[in-house]
Amino acid sequence: MTVSLPHLTDVRPNVPVERLLADLVPPRHFAAASFGSYRADPVHPSQQATVDRLVEVAAGLSASSTGWLKRLVGARSGSQVAIYLDGGFGVGKTHLLASLAHAVGTEASAYGTFVEYTNLVGALGFAKTVEALSTKRLVCIDEFELDDPGDTVLMSRLLRELADRGISLAATSNTLPDSLGEGRFAADDFLREIQAMSARFEVLRVDGEDYRHRTLVAGASSVSDSAVADAVRGRPGALIDDFDELLSHLSHVHPSRYGALLDTVTLLGLTGVHPVSDQSAALRLVVLVDRLYDRDVPVLLGGSGEADLFSDEMRAGGYRKKYYRALSRLGSLAADGRELVEQAV
């Protein structure tokens, strides 16, 4: 008798507005992130310099900062700040941003990706989002997107409203891997797009190599579709989906619900993986990869695997930063999936 395996396409998540607000904390992958657990590379002194500055910022924003910690930050203690972490993929910017949120306190800070904040505005409305976030001392925005003019204007206005209310801000974005260390391009783009807010932001450069050690397309060999099915079978929380069917399912689920889609998933196996030709489908896949990475969900890729998943044209276009980030993260998750399977053998 053939036993039907569970699929992600069977999941229909319901996400109330209250959860959108409650989820504005560092994700599972960075639940234990701290400045102490960040391993600054001595080859790139900007990493330790950034840690040192963020320690100052956290101490100044922490309501419990007293004694030697207050003396450490001196005149800057308690002052409003706006920080932008500028650097390439995999240098630990998200780790540092999550560490800052933890250091200030998850009750006093809000932490989310650019997409999560735009989704929040869509669900609550602009005025109510400002009111909700104004209860915090610090708002952290990970992966600030510069490729959608409408969303960028929306977020620029949101940041301005929050800053005018005395809320401190911290954001990250990415420099392309082929920028050869000239990361000012990312910083300049960010400051230009937020226009009226640009003078308030202090840019902290984080140099270094992608710690995930992936090539632009990770290039790891794929797993056969039958091996994917064997790995999923009998494993609690493991799901398997045909790649095309999953892409179709994602088109019917709002991206704000992708996290809830993965609530109980411990391993995701995908069969029939192939290059994605439709950009809308590719961008939805990018969001799913981000949520998988946030939640440390290993993946197994059948079919052609990661090879040429996004075309050269996509990786050279306006959404290229999203695709490079997704490939770096997917490569890491695929390696975790293969290791999981090998351990079970």
pLDDT band at 71 (very low <50, low <70, confident <90, very high): very low
- Binned at pLDDT 50, 70 and 90, residue 142 comes out as very high
* Residue 221's pLDDT band (cuts 50, 70, 90): low
Res 30 pLDDT > 50? yes
Sheet holding 168-172, edge to edge: 109-113, 138-142, 168-172, 82-87, 202-206
Write out pLDDT tens, residues 243-288: 999 999 999 998 888 999 999 999 999 999 999 999 999 999 999 9
Reported as a single tens digit per residue, the pLDDT across 289-338 is 999 999 999 999 999 888 889 999 999 888 888 898 899 889 999 999 98
- Output the pLDDT for position 216: 41
pLDDT at 68: 41
pLDDT band at residue 185 under the 50/70/90 scheme: low
Question: Could you tell me the pLDDT band of residue 70, with boundaries at 50, 70 and 90?
Answer: very low
Q: Give the chain's mean pLDDT.
A: 86
Residue 62 to residues 95, 113, 157, 165, 238: CA-CA distances in angstroms? 19, 22, 26, 18, 40
Residue ranges of domains in the chain, CATH in brackets: 32-206 (3.40.50.300), 214-344 (3.40.50)
Q: What is the mean pLDDT of residues 64-75?
A: 43
Whether 199 shows a pLDDT value over 80: the answer reads: yes
Q: Could you report the per-residue pLDDT of 95-135, keeping only the tens digit for each?
A: 999 999 999 999 999 999 998 899 899 889 999 999 999 99
The mean pLDDT value for 207-227 works out to 66
Specify the pLDDT at position 217.
Answer: 43
- Find all residues with CB under 8 Å of 267, minimum gap 6, and list them: 231, 232, 235, 237, 238, 239, 297, 298, 299, 300, 337, 340
What is the mean pLDDT of the segment spanning 169-180? 72
Q: What is the pLDDT of residue 188?
A: 82
Q: What pLDDT, on the 0 to 100 scale, is given for residue 102?
A: 97
At position 315, the amino acid (one-letter code) is R
In sequence order, the 6+-apart residues with CB closer than 8 A to the CB of 270 are 228, 240, 241, 242, 243, 246, 299, 300, 301, 302, 303
